[in-house]
Structure 1
Amino acid sequence: MATIRRLKNKRFLAEIRKKGVYKSKTFDSKVQAMAWAAETEQSLANQHLIHGKTLADACLRYRDEISPKKKSYRTEYNRLNKFSRQPFASLTLEALTAKHLYDWIEDVSRTLKSSSVNRDLNLLSAVLEQAKRWQWTDKNPVRGLRRPKNPQPRDRRISAKEIQQVMDALGFDGQTINRSRHELAVAFLLAIETAMRQGELWQLKWEDVYLEKRYLRLHDTKNGTRRDVPLSSEAVRLFTLLQPGRGEKVFKSNQASSGTIFRRCLKQAGIYNMHFHDTRHEAISRLAQKIPVLDLARLTGHKDIKMLMVYYNASAEEIAKQLD
């Protein structure tokens, strides 16, 4: 870190102490001292850099060392593999510039939504920041980029007709569970009742479900905090159909394969532009009509009310009914 002091002779002394190295020099003006300090600090930093590492090297090391500690490991693993195969990933970190990234953005924007491009840029920025900690580079060209504008937040609601179509496609009569597809149907209905995420449902264990007290406890949530989720009478009924206490996990099927089955069932039912996560929009929009906003935020796990509003998609017709 550089320090600059004014001496008695009205000159300026610039001093640098960095990783056991000490350098100093006097100047006639403070501006000269600051310029020398910045240049010298940069030179000292470069002396400690490990040169020759490529962006692909950084992506793969990040994938193997950093990503496994994250909840998003599965998807991040695939995205980093994809990054490492990009033509510009063969560049050394010293050679990587903003122009390479702008060229990449222009190319992928033909097939990817702007929100997906920005998520990839966020991940790439995290990789480059970590590479700076590894002393592989001293720059992050993602910072300062003009990014694509994100689209309006998704506001897909799920109609009662569509819910019935999903039940029919999964062969669930609302009462009997004797196939894994029926279990998936119950998960879909519970997501609408509780606003729980798909991953939260599939991680849920019976020891954390308290049907008599009408709530369940989530230990591992997206924002890293524990959350208790109150249960409606319908949610309690649905959990009862799953035969509480039978096995450790509430949902015994594999989450990834269940997602594949769900997408196939939507196609079979003729339902388009729907994702399982849209149940969270539907649930929050319904619950907002029943409970105060602070209670709703506590139920859903949102620490920022602005983020909660992204999921609240009540129609004008629904709001009008509350005015009378």
Structure 2
Amino acid sequence: MTLSDALRRYKRDVSTTKAGQRWEELRLDKMDNEMTFVGELIGNITADQIAEWRDLRLKKVSSPSVRRDMTLLSSVFEIAKREWKCCTINPVREVKRPSNGRPRDRRVSLSEVSALTTRLGFIEGVAPVTLQQELAYAFLLALETAMRQGEILGLKVKDVLIKDRYVRLEMTKNGESRNVPLTRRAGELLEVLLGERSGDSQVFRLSSASADAMFRKIRDELHIVDLHFHDTRHEATTRLARKVDVLDLARITGHKDPRSLMVYYNATAAEMAARLD
């Protein structure tokens, strides 16, 4: 079995069982297309080749991105070794991973929210008709709930319990379900989105791939610098940190280690000064 064969088999047999299926499939395809040694037998791949690939990737993308790629590649080698029996070592384990780097702490300003939602055609209290309007609703909902883009776009009507003020996520990125409480604003947005619908239908028609492309296009048209949709998660958790303690915040966001949430307690100096009065 070549490394290319292993990447494709992992994509077919393993990635399809995961909540992060789309991300994994994209990463595996990129590895298959870009690695110069994918045609070699997986059992012949060396740590030196992995290290060379790591260094080339670091010239193009951030350290955290390379770390995630290496984690995925390591998983491919592990299953190839333990279950497929086509290699005896995992060379990724022998290669030093780049430092994780400083976590993003990009805040989302009110002026940016206004500019983006206006450009996307958002109308308060009016159900979305276009996919751009759906993206505006997803963006606003992310700012209220700290849910990931994929979690929001994957919502079904039956997952939304507006009267009880929470959303039930059956499968999340870390493989566990969780309940996400709704602010009053989040409830209002979802009421408009759901209308009279019920049952197993999707709340959104918009796919993650379309949402990503559309968000980047509109952001660049508006000359908004260094803003990603995922920054809404940091913004929302920073806001929620003013209202709940770190353990409750971990339950809301799905973080397994509450210590990792300290980065979200990231109030500006002006905000901290206001609390002192």
TM more than 0.5? yes
Please tell me whether residue 66 in structure 1 is matched to residue 14 in structure 2: yes
Match of 1:104 in 2: 53
Per-residue CA deviations over 1:182-235 (Å, capped at 9, x if unaligned) read 222121111111111111111112222222222221111222222122211111
Paired residues for 1:123-142 under 5 Å = 123-133=72-82, 134-142=84-92
Equivalent-residue separation in structure 2 for 1:254 and 1:93 (angstroms): 34
1:27-176 to 2 correspondences below 5 Å? 53-85=1-33, 86-133=35-82, 134-176=84-126
C-alpha deviations, 1:243-262, integer Å up to 9, x for none?
Answer: 43326222233332122222
Aligned to 1:271: 224
Q: Does 1:291 align with 2:240?
A: no
Which segment drifts farther, 81-90 or 60-69?
81-90
Aligned partners of 1:193 and 1:84: how far apart in 2?
Answer: 38
In structure 2, runs of 5+ residues without a counterpart are none
Provide closer, same or farther for how the CA distance between residues 73 and 65 of structure 1 changes in structure 2, counting only shifts above 3 A.
Answer: same
Q: CA deviation at 1:178?
A: 4.3
Pairwise CA distance, 1:125: 0.9
Which of 147, 156, 171 in structure 2 is aligned with 1:220? 171
User: Would the alpha carbon gap of residues 160 and 96 (structure 1) be closer, same or farther in structure 2, given more than 3 Å must change?
Assistant: same
Percent same amino acid at aligned positions?
47
* Distance in 2 (alpha carbons) for counterparts of 1:103 and 1:252: 41
Structure 1 partner of 2:152: 201
* Distance in 1 between residues matched to 2:270 and 2:121, nearest whole Å: 32
Aligned counterpart, 1:229: 180
In the TM superposition, what whole-angstrom CA distance separates every residue of 1:148-172 from its partner, at most 9, and x where no partner exists?
A: 2222001110011111111121122
Equivalent pair of 1:59/1:84 in contact (CA under 8 Å): yes
Which of 177, 182, 187 is equivalent to 2:133? Answer: 182
- Relative to structure 1, the CA distance from residue 291 to residue 107 in structure 2 (aligned partners, 3 Å threshold; closer, same or farther) is closer
Q: Output the aligned Cα RMSD.
A: 1.8
Q: Structure 2 CA distance, aligned partners of 1:141 and 1:208? A: 42
Counterpart secondary structure, 1:94: helix
Give 3-state SS (helix, strand or coil) of 1:155's partner.
Answer: coil
The answer to whether the 8 A contact 1:169-1:268 is kept is no
Matched, 1:306 2:255: no
Letter in 2 for 1:96: I
Which letter maps to 1:142? V
Q: Helix, strand or coil: the match of 1:88?
A: coil
Contact 2:19 2:171 in 1 (8 A): no
Cα separation, partners in 2 of 1:317 and 1:236, compared to 1, 3 Å: same
SS in 2 for 1:237: helix
Higher relative contact order (CA 8 A, sep 6+): 2
1:255 correspondence with 2:225: no
Which has a greater percent of helix? 2
Contact preservation (8 Å) 1:281, 1:312: no
Q: Distance in 1 between matches of 2:68 and 2:111?
A: 33
Instruction: Kindly state the Cα deviation for residue 310 of structure 1 after the two structures are TM-superposed.
Output: 3.9
Q: TM-score, normalised by structure 1?
A: 0.78
Higher strand share: 1
Q: 1:169 to 1:299 in 2, by over 3 A?
A: same
CA distance in 2, matches of 1:178, 1:151: 39
Hey, what's the Cα distance between the residues in 2 that align with 1:158 and 1:296? 19
Q: Cα gap change, 1:165/1:116 in structure 2, threshold over 3 Å: closer, same or farther?
A: same
